[in-house]
Each structure stands twice: as C-alpha cells, then as structure tokens.
Structure 1
Amino acid sequence: MTTPIKVAVAGASGRMGREVVKMVLQDEQLQLTGAMSPSAGAVDAGRMVGLDEAGITVSPSLEAMLAGADIDVLVDFTVPQTVYANTLEAITRGIRPVVGATGFTPEQIKELDELCKQQGIGGLIAPNFSIGAILMMKFAAEASKYFPHLEIIEYHGDQKLDAPSGTSIKTAELISAARREMKQGNPREEETIEGARGGYYDGFRIHSVRLPGVFAQQEVVFGAFGQSLKIRHDSYDRAGYMPGVAHAVKKVMTYEGLIYGFEHIMD
C-alpha cells in the first residue's frame, strides 16, 4: 500500500479550511498530520468539522504546528496578510505549499518558485480550485481571440475582503495573454459616479458585486455586432472545490518549482 501523503491545513477553522480538513480525513491517500487556527482553541480537528476524533489537536500558530508535525504538504486558505509568510516558512522547511489564498505579487511568486527549486520540491498557488471555474477561464480566453470586446462580472458574498476576486484577476490574465490590449467603449465616456465602469484591466473592465446570500459566480460577457456571448460559472458549495484541492495535493508531490494556476496541473 502506498504511504499516505501527510497534509497540514492552515486556516483550518475557516469556511474553506474546514472543508479541506474533511476532505483529507476522508481520502485514503492522504493523512492529516496538522491543523492550525488562531481562533479555534485546542480542539480535535476531526471533532471541529463534525467527524470522528482524528487525534490531531488544532495548533494556535503556524510555528507551533510546524514544530510538532511531520508534514509533506501545507494547504493554506488563510488571508492575504499572512499567506506569503506562511508559504515562505513552509518552503524553507521543505514542505510543499498548496495555496488557495490571494495577495501574492509577481515578484513574490518568482522568489518562491526559485526557493522551491532550490529545495527540490513542488508548490502551487491557485486562485480557484473549481474545475468548472478553470474551464470557464479557458473558454473565455479562447473566445477573446474572436470577441475582443468583453467585460468580467464576478459575484461574491458581502463578507469577502478582496475585490476584484483572485479568480477574476486570473481570468483577466489569461484573456490578456490571448488578446491584444485594446481600449473599449466610447473614448469620450465619463463616469458621473466614480467606479461605475468598474476596474480597468488591459482595455476591459472587471465589476465586483458583493451581496449577502451570494456564494461565488462569475461571468464573462462578450459583445460584437448583432450578437453577444456569455460564459458563466456558478459555485453553490465549498465542497465543489475539494476534488481540485485533493488533486493538487497529490500532483504537487510529482514536480519541482512553484506553479501559479490550477489549469497547469489539471491533467
């Protein structure tokens, strides 16, 4: 029998972190060896997510968890303010990061990639682990070659901290790689209310909607003479991201260097 991959979860008591803990505990190829949350208290990780006792007590800090656990992969769904430091610490210790939080600069990603290669380990930063969302991005990038006039509209709950979302930024990056920059709309247009036209990215706009009761949706709207095209993805539950996270944890054991974007490891 293959030795299970030893997985620790940073941000284990958060909404995504809890789903990751459940997924790891229910996957025979994975073994939960650590969980961290500053706010959960010294509770058993299994009990915290409504499952049987796992024998892993949630640690109050990353340092405490890393000091007391044998870890192959650190899954991090914390916040932009801490995720870079968490990822740097993990790689320095030879632990492979699988990161779902946003907030990295291109310079930081390059630095972490070089450090992963020095350590001989793999790593992944992915704004979205939903296979459906990744397909939406790929389809949008392909469509932008033929429908260069477009706008992105993303919808999340009103407690989401960042705007625009990491998914919409990644979508914009993929579109920009496939489509030449061009400024859309009337060159004399003026906003009578600041921000009404959304955020500007390579000639097109990104709009962020934040409302209670909304989970996570995104659509890319394309316009051309006499027609329009909409490519949309809707997420209804965080469990929908878990097949992607499980695949990433297993895949990151097979390569060296830091990869940005789940689409690069989907095969």
Structure 2
Amino acid sequence: MINIVVAGAKGKMGAEAVRMVQAEKDFSLAAAVDLEGAGKKMKDIDGMEPLDVPVYTDMQACLDEVKADVLIDLTSPGVGKKHMQIAIQNGVRPVVGTTGFSEEDVEELSQLAAEKQIGAVIAPNFAIGAVLLMKFSQLAAKYMPDVEIIEQHHDKKLDAPSGTAVKTAQMISEVRDERPQGHPDEEEQLSGVRGGEHEGMHIHSVRLPGLVAHQEVIFGGEGQTLTVRHDSLNRTSFMPGIKLACQHVMTMSSLVYGLEQLLDI
C-alpha cells in the first residue's frame, strides 16, 4: 500500500488526483494540503466524497503528523518547489505536475534527491498522449527541422509557454541544430506576434476559457507540412500518468524530468 498526500487538493487537478487515489486499491490517501483547508477534513471541501482525511495548509506540519510515501503536488511553481524540498528532506517521494520550473530549479532539486537517494518525478504533462506527441515530434524533427509550436490552455494557467511546449522544444533541440526560421528581414508589426523563440523555433501560447490543455507541433518542408496534435479534453487524461509515476517513484533513487523517462518508448 502506497500512502499518498495530495497538495492542491481543492483545485480541479488536485480533486481528480484525490479521486484517482481513492479508486486505486494499492493507494491510500493519507492527507491533503491546500491553502484553504485549515482545520478541515476532505469531507468538508465542496464536491469531495465524505472522506475523513485531514487537510493541512503547511506541508511540514502535514509530514510531521502523517505517514506518507508519496507526495502528489499539483500547485504552482514556487509552492511546488518548496513542497518538493520539504518532501525529499522528510523521505517522501514527490510526483509533481506543476510546470514553470527553471533549469536551475530542476538541477537544484536533482542534487537534493541524489543526496538523499530518493526518487522524484517532475512531469510537464502527465497525459500519455502528450508524451507520445513529444516523442513523435522529436522523431519528425530529424527529417523536418523547420518547426513551430502552438500550445493552448485555460485562462487560469499562470505560466507561458507551457512546460509541455518547453519540454517539446528541448527534445527537438536534441536532434536538430539551432537554425533561423522565417524571412531574415521579417519585422513584427505587432510586438510578440511571432511568439517566443527557442533556438530558432517559435512557440505561441493561447489562453482562453473553455480550453484544458492542447498542443500542436507544425513541421514545414518543401511542398509539404506535417502537424502532430494532442488534446486533453478533461483532467482525467492526466491520471494514468500520475498513477504510473507514483508506482515507479517508489523504486527510484534520483529525480527524473519528464514522464517519457518512465515509458518504454
């Protein structure tokens, strides 16, 4: 039995994670952490099943009082980093779906996990289909190196571009030399209209109500284009990946960045 704490339990993703943990026979929900949960039980939070599980506002207080094996963190970059540090220091294995970590953050957390010999997972996207999109894009970029990325998310998302878009660009960069794209004399008539840039690749972010998480990677070549697209239609799409990470992290002794590291692809 894997005892799990869910951070961000009142949010939409956190609530789905709570339901996933409850549905898995080998998982047990030990506690929840949420800024609005002071003195409450999960059964007191709107929309939750009547769970007699404590809710904490402070991660250290939670881990001082609750026996936990894994932390699922679905909060925000600053909070997620702090929670990871506390979890690793307390021998709890973090599985983090929060995006917005810098390369320096990941390196710092990797060093801490290595020192403590404890497993950790940070995944910009836990949807299996999104991970496949990244791998397909990496394969395509070997043969069609001119590429742009368009990512679309709900308008409550804090970071742009998304962690998935950044990870996709990084994976493409592993097989593609940096190269300029577009006309060498192009000029933006509206600042930012060409999006952000990573080694010549342009990344465009869309934020609108009604969206969940969507990305397309468009490749252009002589006389042809190729589009690879993934859509998460609701937040249940992320749960199989979170479940997989919770299972794998129990046997790991270091941090991995990206769900693809745990898949045989």
Q: 1:42 to 1:180 in 2, by over 3 A?
A: same
Q: Which amino acid aligns with 1:102?
A: T
How many residue pairs are counted as aligned between the two chains? 264
Q: Which stretch of structure 1 is more off in the superposition, 84-93 or 52-61?
A: 52-61
Check if 1:244 corresponds to 2:233. Answer: no
Separation in structure 1 between the aligned mates of residue 210 and residue 75 of structure 2, nearest angstrom: 22
Q: Which stretch of structure 1 is more off in the superposition, 34-43 or 247-256?
A: 34-43
Equivalent residue, structure 2, for 1:225: 222
Check if 1:151 corresponds to 2:148. Answer: yes
Separation in structure 2 between the aligned mates of residue 46 and residue 243 of structure 1, nearest angstrom: 24
Superposition map of 1:1-267 within 5 A = 4-45=1-42, 48=45, 50=47, 52-267=49-264
Is the CA contact 1:76–1:101 (under 8 Å) kept in the aligned structure 2? yes
The runs of 5 or more residues in structure 1 that have no matched partner are none
Is the CA contact 2:72–2:95 (under 8 Å) kept in the aligned structure 1? yes
Separation in structure 1 between the aligned mates of residue 31 and residue 103 of structure 2, nearest angstrom: 29
SS of 1:254's equivalent in the other structure is coil
SS of 2:106's equivalent in the other structure is helix
Q: 1:219 to 1:191 in 2, by over 3 A?
A: same
**1:114-151 superposed Cα distances (whole Å, 9 cap, x missing partner):** 22122221000000000000000000011011111110
Separation in structure 1 between the aligned mates of residue 31 and residue 263 of structure 2, nearest angstrom: 26
CA RMSD of aligned residues (A): 1.4
SS of 2:219's equivalent in the other structure is strand
Separation in structure 1 between the aligned mates of residue 26 and residue 263 of structure 2, nearest angstrom: 18
For normalisation by structure 2, the TM-score amounts to 0.96
The runs of 5 or more residues in structure 2 that have no matched partner are none
Separation in structure 2 between the aligned mates of residue 209 and residue 48 of structure 1, nearest angstrom: 31
Separation in structure 2 between the aligned mates of residue 157 and residue 31 of structure 1, nearest angstrom: 30
**1:157-209 superposed Cα distances (whole Å, 9 cap, x missing partner):** 12211110111001000011111110111100000100010001111100001
Identity of aligned residues (%): 47
Q: CA deviation at 1:51?
A: 5.3
Is the CA contact 1:22–1:46 (under 8 Å) kept in the aligned structure 2? no
Separation in structure 2 between the aligned mates of residue 46 and residue 218 of structure 1, nearest angstrom: 36
Q: CA deviation at 1:49?
A: 6.8
Q: Which amino acid aligns with 2:235?
A: R
For normalisation by structure 1, the TM-score amounts to 0.95
Q: CA deviation at 1:55?
A: 2.2
Is the CA contact 1:126–1:260 (under 8 Å) kept in the aligned structure 2? yes
Is the CA contact 2:146–2:219 (under 8 Å) kept in the aligned structure 1? yes
